Structure 1
Amino acid sequence: MDSNRPHGRRTVLRTIGTAVGGLSLAGCLGVNQDREPELYTTPAADEFEAVVDSMWLDEYLEDVELLDIRAEDEFAAGHIAGAHRLPDTELLRDHYEETADGYEASPEVIADIVADIGIEPDDDVVVYGEGSNLWETYAIYTLRAIGHDGTVSLLDGGYPVWDDAGGDTETGTPDPATASYVPELETDVIATRERVADNVREDGADVQLVDNRSPAEYVGTQKSDAVSRHGHITGAINIEFTQNLVDGGDRLRSPDDLEQLWLEEAGLDPAEETISYCSTAVRGSVGWFVMEQLGWETVRNYEGSWNDWGTLSEDDGYYYTTGEGTGTVIDPFA
């Protein structure tokens, strides 16, 4: 696959630098260059368009904006030099609302949050956290959903790898920064309740559906008080999001492993529209992100996911399947 890395675009509102008062700066990648380079480079970063590693970031650090999605206390204790913090609670809670027609994205809300930390639509952005896990891909999906024009990439391995490599870090909390951000909802990455329902029949589905929850949630034996129904959308297969990750979520699996998972084991066709979902679209964003990297032409994340679908009725055409032994569970790496 061809790479299309963030390159050379310097943001016009970089208000958080290495000389900001109240921040202490330490480190420089290369201090630990005598250590194994595979600790700081990853197969996913070599192959995938929207994945970078610490070695790449060290070279292009001044050309990108950084979004740290970890908790506030973790961020204050140490973060990559110049990073902004995007709170995961605001990311999940504030950018969509439940309406009579299902969950609807509110791009203006998330755009305001992003602008308040100093990000503009044209900025090339690298997102990082504690690894390559849930909130990292959800932040990428959310930026894409509000029409971000710059590249948005994942730092494979996250902050721990950067820190261990001796990369530039800061402590403390930067001064507030404000940018201008006018969102434009990108419907090509979002699946609404209506879109899912239009493609699900009583005996199957007209699009590829991937449930990223656990197998127990998928068949309905693990129940949640948030919904009245337990099981999966009729026609969906199950690929638990953890299948895409190694080392407890620290990194993405290799491209070869991911191709085996999605193309060989699951038998999915990248040329066919696919809808990813979970309970709240967070775990679903992992599947969405991986499918995009594998070259899917059209892949959407169901914003309401099971917390929406599980409250509906088959009488209105919202079909679901439940019971042990139902559906298809893909788990070659379990």
Structure 2
Amino acid sequence: MQDRQTRTSRRAVLASAGAAIAATAGCLGSSGDSEPPAAYTTPAAAEFDGVVDSQWLSENLEDVHLLDVRDEGAFGDAHIPGAHHFPDSEMLDSYAEETPDGFEVSPDVIAWTLSQAGIESGDDVVVYGAESNLWETYAIYTLNALGHEGQVSLLDGGFTVWDAAGEETTGSSPESGDATYEPELDTGVVATREFVAENVDESDASVPILDMRSPAEYYGVDQRGDLGRFGHVTGATNLNFVQSIDDEAGRLRTPEELETLWIDDADLSRDETVVAYCQTAIRASVGWFVLDQFGFEDVRNYEGSWADWGTLSEENGYYYTTGEDTGTVIDTFA
């Protein structure tokens, strides 16, 4: 797998080429002399290797593959030219699972979908949704877990900004690609139930564990699913995933705001192992993504999350805490 420096240099080459094209055209995107919409350029895209904005994508559209994680109806109505639909519930949340025999991965369906999109492991990919939200980061996390070697980036602001800028869209179905996707699993981005259990005892956790759900779920008050218990992993800190997203602008918060939230207030260090979880690992992928962009050396998403942990028992070493006002809640942007 290529390292961060290699990926960054590749994106720098694309950015330089795109800037030259923009200078020659004398405009941003295809919006002419009109003012581009908010989030057409974003602070996160300027700072993070794995984030691009609509201006960058407009200038580099021919150099990347696109995955659209919106629902099928929205994709069929209009999408960015060249994009392929990347279904969520059919594949993104079914490629891996916790079983009585341990953690099992079945990447074949996703690999086939990527092959149909003309994507190979070394290709640069941009993932987008309606704005910037959780399914996009889960798709990026999933490709990383499959060992994708190219840069996989988030389109900050998503399709909403692209469309508002007057950029080209289409409702035509894309042609099937002629590629072979060969996954080489990177389970270093995954926290299994046993990995979590090894780092949790009856009173605390030995590594930072972040619960990305709402405080009510964290306390066990909002009880979701047919589970045997509700609350949070003992020693986990609550940091609701929505705090990383600027809902008004439809994009990630600025790097300075994210640093305040994650580094200062959550008191995390880039050289320590960090585990994120939620109910099904989807919301937790936002935390995984942000920390990865900050250069954390070992950040993992608990794939089973509470839907798994809530079915286990303390007698077998899977400790949990429940009740209002238990644990720690980070509410910087609540």
Instruction: Tell me the amino acid that sits aligned with residue 221 of structure 1.
Output: V
Shift of the 312–30 alpha-carbon distance from structure 1 to 2, 3 Å rule, reads same
The residue type paired with residue 11 of structure 2 is P
1:36-87 residue CA offsets vs partner (Å, 9 max, x unmatched): 5754100000001100001111111110000001111111111111111101
2:109 — aligned with what?
109
Distance 2:255 2:319 in 1: 34
1:18-167 → structure 2 map (5 Å cutoff): 29-36=29-36, 38-167=38-167
Counterpart residue type for residue 162 of structure 2: W
- Equivalent residue, structure 1, for 2:213: 213
Structure 2: give runs of 5+ residues left out of the alignment. 15-27
What whole-Å deviation, never above 9, does each CA across 1:149-187 have from its counterpart, x for those lacking one? 110000000001011112121112123334201111101
Output the CA distance in 2 between the equivalents of 1:228 and 1:142: 28
Task: Tell me if structure 2 keeps the 8 A contact 1:145–1:187.
Answer: yes
Deviations 1:235-258 (A, max 9, x none): 110110000001268210000000
- Distance in 2, Cα, partners of 1:51 & 1:7: 13
Taking the aligned partners of 2:304 and 2:170, their CA distance within structure 1 comes to 37
Structure 2 counterparts to residues 161-310 of structure 1, below 5 A: 161-247=161-247, 250-310=250-310
Contact 1:209 1:237 in 2 (8 A): yes
Q: How far off is 1:104 after superposition?
A: 2.6
**One-letter identity of the residue aligned with 2:230:** H
- Tell which deviates more after alignment, 171-180 or 191-200: 171-180
Deviation at 1:108, TM superposition (A): 2.7
Question: d(CA) in 2 for partners of 1:125 and 1:57?
Answer: 11
Q: 2:11 aligns with which of 6, 15, 21?
A: 6
After superposition, give the CA deviation of every residue in 1:219-245 in whole Å (9 maximum; x if it has no partner).
101112331110000111011000000
**SS in structure 1 opposite 2:301?**
strand
Counterpart residue type for residue 6 of structure 1: R
Deviation at 1:31, TM superposition (A): 1.9
**CA-to-partner distance for each residue in 1:7-57, whole Å, 9 max, x for gaps?**
668xxxxxxxxxxxxxxxxxx923244305754100000001100001111
TM-score normalised by structure 1 residue count:
0.90
CA offset at residue 113 of structure 1? 2.3
Say if 1:32 and 1:165, in contact at 8 Å, map to a contact too.
no
Q: Tell me the C-alpha RMSD between the 2 structures.
A: 2.0
8 A Cα contact 2:39 2:249, kept in partner: no
User: Would the aligned equivalents of 2:95 and 2:109 in 1 still touch at CA under 8 Å?
Assistant: yes
Q: CA deviation at 1:97?
A: 3.3
Secondary structure of the 2:283 match is helix
Report the 3-state secondary structure (helix = DSSP H, G, I; strand = E; otherwise coil) of the residue aligned with 2:110.
helix
Q: How many angstroms apart in 2 are the aligned matches of 1:143 and 1:30?
A: 30
Structure 1 unmatched ranges of 5 or more = 10-27
Query: Quick check: 1:211–1:236 contact (8 Å CA) kept in 2?
Result: yes
- Which SS does the other structure have where 2:11 is aligned? coil
Higher mean alpha-carbon deviation, 99-108 vs 230-239, is at 99-108
Bigger drift between 28-37 and 71-80 goes to 28-37
TM-score by length of 2: 0.90
Tell me if structure 1 keeps the 8 A contact 2:44–2:254. yes
Hey, which bits of structure 1, 4+ residues long, moved more than 6 A? none
- Which secondary structure state, in structure 2, belongs to the residue aligned with residue 66 of structure 1? strand
- Quick one: which amino acid aligns to residue 60 of structure 1? N
Contact 1:241 1:287 (8 Å CA) reproduced = yes
Aligned-partner residue type, residue 319 of structure 2: Y
